[in-house]
Amino acid sequence: MIALLALFAFILTWQFFSYAFIFLIFIFYAFLKEFFGFLNFRKSIIKEAVLIKNSLAYKITSRNLYIYIVSFFVALFAIFSLSLNLLASQRQDYIFLFIILPLLLVFFKKKLYFQLVNNAYTDFIIILISSFFTALFYSIFDLFFNVKTIFNLYDFHQNIVYYKNSSFLFFDLISQFLAIINALKEYFLSYFGIFWFRIFNFVFDFFNFFVFSFFVAYLYNFAFKRNKIYIFASSFIILIALFLSKESKNQNIKPYHKEILTMMDNFSLLREQNLSTLKEDKIKWDKNLKQVREILNKNAFEIGIWWFSKEKEDLQKSLNESLK
């Protein structure tokens, strides 16, 4: 329960409280404990299936030191991934994380209660299934209800300048970096046209939110070992608080913003010039091919006359220019 409250506290305070990173320690501990339970359970199965009893490898793995080491690094990756997603998350994300995800967890726990043995591996399966459906519902909602238009330079400017800032310098820098990465992704995906732009966004949203949901689900699973009613009540209260709270966004254009915008503007102009050149070349080739087709339809006498005409010189000149 403390780990989940720490998650709520971090979301509410990371923008204005310089020591909000302290809450991540409690979340890290919850991850470490959950991953250790899962890996420790899997260790006995893998050992019996792979290693020969009383062998050197069997004796080395008889203790839990390496399980602690692996759990530590997995928990470190989890807290890093979760932190990045929390810094870049939007308010609509929390509806799926704090309402739909825990409901799915409880639903699948009850549905699979009589079909699966109650252990750490079963928890992993339920978390995986719940995260999958949460990410799927989120991606479908975003595809059909969040209207996406082609991302232009103005949108790019808005995204990188008005990012969610923080009083803690480290979080502020990460938030800036994430805003730039997201803006670049949206901008370059827009080159594929509105249909593929939406499809690619659907795929990206699904995989990103699946990982996001997976780690949040582990915290809920850790907390659900206590009173579920308190957890749902806390989730609902925090969700209301998040929607009522005001996000702080950067209002100052920084020097690197101007450099990035100038670079993207030049890139856009270069792309437009290249496209216009390609269009001109295509028009020339179409014209030349039509003339060649007309020549092939002529008889030998007409071709002989054409050979000494100005049309032949013009066609030859045009072909030479196109082949340069």
Detail the DSSP E strand segments found in 193-237: none
- 258 within domain boundaries: no
- 262 within domain boundaries: no
CA distance to 6, 81, 214, 253, 302, per residue, from 11 (Å): 9, 14, 17, 25, 82
Closest CA to 239 of 87, 139, 99, 141: 99
- 234 within domain boundaries: yes
CA distance to 35, 89, 319, per residue, from 96 (Å): 23, 12, 60
Q: For residue 125, report the phi and psi dihedrals to the nearest 5 degrees.
A: -65, -45
Shared domain for 201 and 299, answered yes or no, is no
Give the tokens for residue 33: 């404990």
Detail the DSSP E strand segments found in the chain: none
* SS3 assignment, position 249: strand
Task: Quote the Cα angle for 17-21-26, to 5°.
Answer: 125
Which residue, 194, 219, 252, sits at the end of a domain? 252
Question: Number of structural domains, the chain?
Answer: 2
Shared domain for 282 and 238, answered yes or no, is no
The answer for residues whose C-beta is within 8 angstroms of residue 14's C-beta and 6 or more apart is 20, 86, 87, 166, 168, 171
Shared domain for 167 and 75, answered yes or no, is yes
Reading the chain (324 residues) residue by residue, the pLDDT tens digits are: 688 888 888 988 888 888 888 999 999 988 888 888 777 766 665 555 445 555 555 555 556 667 788 888 989 999 999 999 998 888 888 999 999 999 999 888 888 766 665 666 788 888 899 999 999 999 999 888 876 666 777 777 788 888 888 888 888 889 889 888 888 888 888 878 788 888 888 999 899 999 999 999 988 887 887 677 788 888 888 888 888 888 888 888 777 777 887 777 777 666 665 555 656 666 766 776 777 677 666 666 666 666 667 776 676 676 666 655
Shared domain for 68 and 174, answered yes or no, is yes
Shared domain for 232 and 283, answered yes or no, is no
Shared domain for 243 and 280, answered yes or no, is no
- Residue 146 to residue 91: CA distance in whole angstroms: 13
Residue that the structure tokens 């957890």 belong to = 231
- Residue 216 to residue 177: CA distance in whole angstroms: 23
Q: Domain span at residue 305?
A: 273-322
> What does the pLDDT read at residue 56?
56
- 259 within domain boundaries: no
- 25 within domain boundaries: yes
Shared domain for 185 and 298, answered yes or no, is no
Shared domain for 16 and 81, answered yes or no, is yes
- 265 within domain boundaries: no
- Residue 268 to residue 278: CA distance in whole angstroms: 15
- Residue 176 to residue 155: CA distance in whole angstroms: 15
- 182 within domain boundaries: yes
Q: For helices 22-50 and 194-223, what crossing angle results, to 10°?
A: 90
